[in-house]
A and B are shown apart, each in its own frame.
Chain A
Amino acid sequence: MKSKKDSEVPARPPSGFSRRGFIGVGIGSGALGAGLLERPAAAEPAGAAVVGPQAVPVTLNINGKPVNLTLEPRVTLLDALRNYIGLTGAKKACDRGVCGSCTVMLSGKTVYACAVLAIDAQGKEIQTIEGLAAPGELHPVSAAFWNHDAQQCGYCTPGFVMAATGFLKENPSPTEADVRHGLGGNFCRCGTYMGIRKAVLEAAETMKKGRPSNG
C-alpha cells in the first residue's frame, strides 16, 4: 500500500534501531542452520504493507487467547511477551537469535522470539512455556527436566523446554545422538547438558506412553 503515511512520516535514519532490516538480512541468513527461525516470515513478499514507526494495533493469539495491544512495529515478539503482556517465561539473553533462551512456538514450530517481530506473529498460534501446562502442573518435558536436574540457574531452562517440546513433536522417538543434534540451537552457561540429554529421552518415553494421540 502506497499510503499517505509514507510521505508524512520521515524515514527512520539508518542509524536508528530498525530490527526489520537486521532480522531479514543478518539473522535470517546466519542462524537458519539452527532451524529455529520462522521461515514464512523471512520469506515474506516485498510488497507487504508498510506500517509505523508509530504504534499500531496488534492482535496476538497467545496460548489460545487473543491479546490486543498497541505496539511500535519494531517491537520483537520477545519484548511484546515480556514487556507488554507480562509473560516472562521466555528469557532475553543474547537478543540476537543465537542462544535460544527466548524459544517459543509459532504455528507449531519453534522460533527465537527475539528474532521475530510481534507484528509478523499476528494471525499465528503463539505458544509460550506458560501455555504448556496449567499453574501448579508440569508438562512431561518440564517434569523430565526436574527429574534429571537439567537446570541450575534455570535461565536457559524455559527455552530449552520449549525447544525440546518442539523437537519431540518432530522426533517422537529420538536417540541420544538425535537429541545432541536437535537441541544445538540453545545454550546453557551453567552446563546442564548432561541432564538435558537424559531429560529429553525420558520425556519422549513419557509422552509416547501418556499421550498416544500425539505420537
Chain B
Amino acid sequence: MANTPDYSWPPMETRQVMGQNVKRLDGPQKSAGRAKYSSDFTRKDLLFAAYQTSPYAHARVTSVDTTPAERMPGVKAVHVVSPAGTEVQWEGTEIAAVAAVTEEIAQEAAHNIKVEYEVLPHLVREDDLTKAGSRAKAAGEKVVGDPDQAFQQAEVVSDGHYGIPVVTHCCLESHGQVTEWRGDHVNVWPSTQDVTRYAGTLAPNLKVPTANIDVEMNYVGGGFGSKFAPDAWGEVCARLSQKAGGAPVKLFLDRTTEQLIAGNRPSAFAKIKLGGKKDGTITAWQSESWSTGGIAGGGSPPLPYIIADIPNQRQHHSAVSVNCGPARAWRAPNNQQASYLTCCAIEDFAAKATLDPLEVFRTNINLYAPQARRATYTWQLDKAAELAEWKKLWKPRGQAQSGSVKRGLGIGFNAWAGMGHNSQCRATIHSDGSVQIEIGTQDLGTGTRTVIAQVAAETFGLPVSAVGLTIGSNQLPPDSASGGSTTVGGVSASTRKATVNALAKLYEVAAPALGVDPSQLEARGGKIQVKGGGKSLTWAEACRKIGGGAISETGANDSRNPGGLIAAGASGIQIADVSVDVETGVVKVNRYVAVQDCGLIVNPRLAESQVYGAIIMGISTALYEQRVMDEQTGRMLNPNMEFYKLAGIADIGDIVVHMDIRPENDKRGITGLGEPPAIAICAAIGNAVANAIGVRVPRIPMTPEHVLDALDGRAV
C-alpha cells in the first residue's frame, strides 16, 4: 500500500453508528438465562472438584492423609497442594483438592481429608498501627519543599484521621475453570479477564507448550481486577484432570474460599494535616499512612491525590504484612483509597477555614497534577454543583436541619489514564456480503462486544446487525487483559484499523465497476459510492466482485504508538447527597451526581451503565462492605454473603450521571471507563456525612456503629 490509510475517526457529527445507544449485543442471551458462563459447563463425563483449605491464618502443615477421600466411591483424583512442611500464611490456603463424579461427593471427600497443623502466631488486623510491631515496614520519609515552615506560616491548619478497610471483590461467578488435559493437549474454559494470555501463564506450570492449550470463554461473571491470572487453581484443576485420565474437571471456588483467597482491595489509613491560607489555598500537606495488601504488605495510595502539586509536603507510609489472603487489583488500584484520604482532608480543611468545600476544590485547581485536565475539572465542578443543587442545598458543616435526620453534601474527584491495550483484529468480508470480526478479547459486561460491532459497522457503513463477531478464544488474533480501562481503546483501535484495511481492498475490487479510482469511494448507508454522491453499488453487489475468496485483513493497536485513535486521561467530579439519622446512625444516599469524561464515547448508554455500576459498587463499599478479621482466631468472620454486606436495589438512592461528551473531549479519542467513575464514592459520601452531622466519621464503611461512635466521640 502506497500510503498509510486514514484510520482517524469520522467527525463526531457524521458518525452513523458510533455514538448511538445500540442495545447490548449479548443482552438477549443474558436476560433469557441462555448465556453460557464457564461455570455453566456441562458434559456427561464432567467431574467436580473441591478444596480442603486451612482454617488457620498461620500454621505449618504437619501431615496430610488423603486416604479417607481416596476410599470414597466416586472419587476420581486427589491432589495435595500443601504437603507436610508447608507454611500456611493465611486462612483459606488450599491444602488438597479432590475430583469426583458429583459435586456432593467431591465436597465430602475434600472435607474427609485429615490434615494436622502446628499453629503459629499470626497478625490479621492492621487498623491499629501501634499493634503491628515488626510487621509494619516503613517506606521512608518523602519531603517536598519546607513543610515545617509552611505549617508555621499557615493561617489555617486542619488535621484528621481516616481509614478505608479491606474489601473483597465478591464476583458473583467465583474464580475457577473447567480443564480437560488429555495427552499433550489441554482445553480450558476459565472465568478470566485475560483470554489471550491465560495459556501462556499456565503453560510453564504444566510443562505443556502454550500452543497446546486452547482457552475458550464466552461470558465471565464479574472480575473487577481479580481475574487476570490462571491462579493456583488453574494448575490444580489441570492436574486433577490428568490424574482422572483426562476427563474435564470443574473447579470453581465455593463462596467462603472465594471471599478468603480470591481477591481483596488493600486497606488504607492515614493521619493527615493540611495547612493553608484563609482564602482556601492549600500550602502544606503532612501524612502518616499505612495499609495492607496481605502477607506481602502492599497497598500504597498515591498521596496527595490529584492535588499533587502542593508545594510543601511530608509523607510517611508503612506497609503492614498480615496473615490474610493476598490483595488483587480492584477497579483503579489505590486510587479509591487515595481519593478518600485526600478529599476528606480537603473537606476538613474547608470546614476549619469556614469555607465552602466546593470553593476550596476550585481555588486549588492549579495544584491538580493532571495539568492538562485542570480546565476540565473546573467545568466539571460547576456542572456537578449545578446538578446536585449545591448552592441551594449545601449548608456549612453541622448546620443541617433541626431534627434527628441531617442532610449533607460532599465532593470527591477522580483521575485515571485509560488508553488502549495491545490488540489485534481480523476483519473478513465474504463475497456474499457477510462480515466477520475476530478478536481474542473478552466482554466483562462492559459492552466490549457491542463496541467492536459499532466500530466495524461505522467503517463499513452497515448496521450493527450485519456484523458477525467472534471473541473469547486464544485461537483468535491476540488481545490483552481487560484491566485498567484499556479494553475499549484497544479493541476499538484494532477494529478500526482492520476494517479500514479490509474496506480498502473492497474499494479496489469495486472501483472498476464504478469507473473511478478506489480513493474516490466511500462506504455509507449500505452502499459503496463515489464520494459526494453519484454512482454506487450496494454492499452486496460490491462484495460479489470479490469473486471466489474473501477479503481478510488485520489491524493492530500498539499501546506505545496509538496513532490518535485513543488517548490517556479521564476525569470526573462526584457529589453525594446523604441523610444521616443521628439517633440510629443510619446513612442513606438521597442522590448521587457523577460528571465524567472519557474522551470519545462509542456508546453513551453502555458508558452510563459503567458509571452507574461504578457508583453503586462504590456506595456499597462506602456504606456496608468490610472484611471483618478476628485477631483471636485469625479468621475472617464474614466470608460469605450474609454478613459480607452488598448494597441492594433499595440502598442506592437516585443516581444522576452526566457524561461529559463535549467536542473537545471527543476529539482526543477513546479512553476507557472501567476505573475512573469507581474512585471517588467513599470520598464523596464520607464528606457528605461529615457535612451532615458536623463531625468526621473517620472510618469507612459508614455503618451505624461508626457513625454513632463518631457522634459520641468514641471514634478511633
Chain A interface (Cβ within 8 Å of chain B)?
15-17, 30, 72, 74-75, 79, 82-83, 86, 88-96, 98-99, 101, 128-130, 132-133, 135, 137-139, 141-143, 145-147, 149-158, 161, 179-181, 183-184, 186-197
Closest to B223 in A: A153
* C-alpha gap A89/B173 in the complex (Å): 13
- In the complex, are the beta carbons of A194 and B655 less than 8 A apart? yes
Would you give 28 A-B contacts (Cβ < 8 Å), ordered by A? A30-B642, A79-B104, A88-B33, A88-B42, A89-B32, A91-B173, A93-B641, A96-B255, A98-B640, A98-B641, A98-B642, A129-B32, A130-B33, A142-B28, A146-B28, A153-B220, A155-B221, A156-B172, A157-B33, A180-B649, A186-B648, A187-B641, A191-B615, A191-B617, A191-B652, A192-B616, A193-B612, A195-B612
- Which of B19-27, B51-59, B496-504, B523-531 contacts its partner? B19-27
Residues in chain A near residue B28, CB distance under 8 A: 138, 142, 146
Closest to B606 in A: A149
- In the complex, are the beta carbons of A153 and B172 less than 8 A apart? yes
Return B387 CB to nearest CB of chain A, in Å.
16
CB < 8 Å neighbour of A154 from B26, B641, B646: B26
Known: A180-B650, A184-B648. A154 touches B30 (CB 8 A): yes
CB < 8 Å neighbour of B173 from A15, A151, A153: A153
Known: A98-B640, A138-B28. A149 touches B605 (CB 8 A): yes
* C-alpha gap A141/B108 in the complex (Å): 39
- In the complex, are the beta carbons of B102 and A72 less than 8 A apart? yes
Known: A138-B28, A149-B609. A99 touches B172 (CB 8 A): yes
B23, B36, B446, B648: most-surrounded residue (chain A CB, <10 A): B648
Residues in chain B near residue A129, CB distance under 8 A: 32-33
* C-alpha gap A96/B259 in the complex (Å): 14
Known: A17-B104, A91-B221, A155-B222. A96 touches B31 (CB 8 A): no
- In the complex, are the beta carbons of A155 and B172 less than 8 A apart? yes
Tally the A-B contacts, defined by beta carbons under 8 Å. 196
Closest to A152 in B: B445
Name B's interface SS.
Answer: loop
CB < 8 Å neighbour of A149 from B24, B39, B221: B24
CB < 8 Å neighbour of A91 from B27, B111, B172: B172
* C-alpha gap A16/B105 in the complex (Å): 11
Q: Mark B634-647, 1 if CB is under 8 A from A, else 0.
A: 00000011100010
- In the complex, are the beta carbons of B445 and A193 less than 8 A apart? no
Return A192 CB to nearest CB of chain B, in Å.
6
- In the complex, are the beta carbons of A15 and B172 less than 8 A apart? no
9 additional A-B pairs beyond A17-B104, A142-B28, A189-B171, beta carbons within 8 Å, are: A79-B103, A94-B641, A132-B33, A135-B34, A146-B27, A149-B27, A157-B30, A187-B646, A189-B170
- In the complex, are the beta carbons of A93 and B111 less than 8 A apart? no
Residues in chain A near residue B24, CB distance under 8 A: 146, 149, 151
Residues in chain A near residue B255, CB distance under 8 A: 93-96
- In the complex, are the beta carbons of A181 and B650 less than 8 A apart? yes
- In the complex, are the beta carbons of A194 and B170 less than 8 A apart? no
Nearest 9 A-B pairs (CB), nearest first? A89-B33, A191-B616, A155-B221, A154-B30, A152-B445, A129-B33, A191-B613, A153-B445, A88-B40
Residues in chain B near residue A99, CB distance under 8 A: 172, 641, 646
Residues in chain B near residue A191, CB distance under 8 A: 612-617, 620, 652
Return A21 CB to nearest CB of chain B, in Å.
15
Chain B interface (Cβ within 8 Å of chain A)?
23-24, 26-37, 39-40, 42, 48, 102-104, 107-108, 111, 170-174, 219-224, 254-255, 444-446, 605-606, 609, 612-617, 620, 640-642, 646, 648-650, 652, 655
Residues in chain A near residue B649, CB distance under 8 A: 179-180, 183-184, 186, 188, 193, 196-197
Closest to B611 in A: A191
CB < 8 Å neighbour of B446 from A152, A155, A183, A192: A152
- In the complex, are the beta carbons of A138 and B108 less than 8 A apart? no
- In the complex, are the beta carbons of A158 and B609 less than 8 A apart? no
* C-alpha gap A207/B24 in the complex (Å): 23
Residues in chain B near residue A161, CB distance under 8 A: 31-33
- In the complex, are the beta carbons of A17 and B612 less than 8 A apart? no
Residues in chain A near residue B646, CB distance under 8 A: 99, 187, 189
- In the complex, are the beta carbons of A138 and B172 less than 8 A apart? no
Return A133 CB to nearest CB of chain B, in Å.
6
Closest to B620 in A: A191
Known: A95-B255, A153-B219, A180-B650. A83 touches B102 (CB 8 A): yes
- In the complex, are the beta carbons of B104 and A75 less than 8 A apart? yes
Residues in chain B near residue A89, CB distance under 8 A: 32-34
* C-alpha gap A6/B477 in the complex (Å): 61
A30, A74, A139, A188: most-surrounded residue (chain B CB, <10 A): A188
* C-alpha gap A32/B616 in the complex (Å): 25
Residues in chain B near residue A155, CB distance under 8 A: 37, 171-173, 219, 221-222
* C-alpha gap A125/B629 in the complex (Å): 43
A15, A180, A189, A196: most-surrounded residue (chain B CB, <10 A): A189
Known: A96-B642, A99-B172, A146-B24. A152 touches B221 (CB 8 A): no
- In the complex, are the beta carbons of A154 and B108 less than 8 A apart? no
Residues in chain B near residue A86, CB distance under 8 A: 42
- In the complex, are the beta carbons of A154 and B221 less than 8 A apart? yes
Return B131 CB to nearest CB of chain A, in Å.
33
Closest to B29 in A: A154
- In the complex, are the beta carbons of B617 and A190 less than 8 A apart? yes
* C-alpha gap A132/B446 in the complex (Å): 26
Return A46 CB to nearest CB of chain B, in Å.
25
* C-alpha gap A79/B106 in the complex (Å): 13
Return B585 CB to nearest CB of chain A, in Å.
21
Residues in chain A near residue B48, CB distance under 8 A: 83
Return B94 CB to nearest CB of chain A, in Å.
18
Residues in chain A near residue B40, CB distance under 8 A: 82, 88, 91
Return A104 CB to nearest CB of chain B, in Å.
10
- In the complex, are the beta carbons of B30 and A92 less than 8 A apart? no
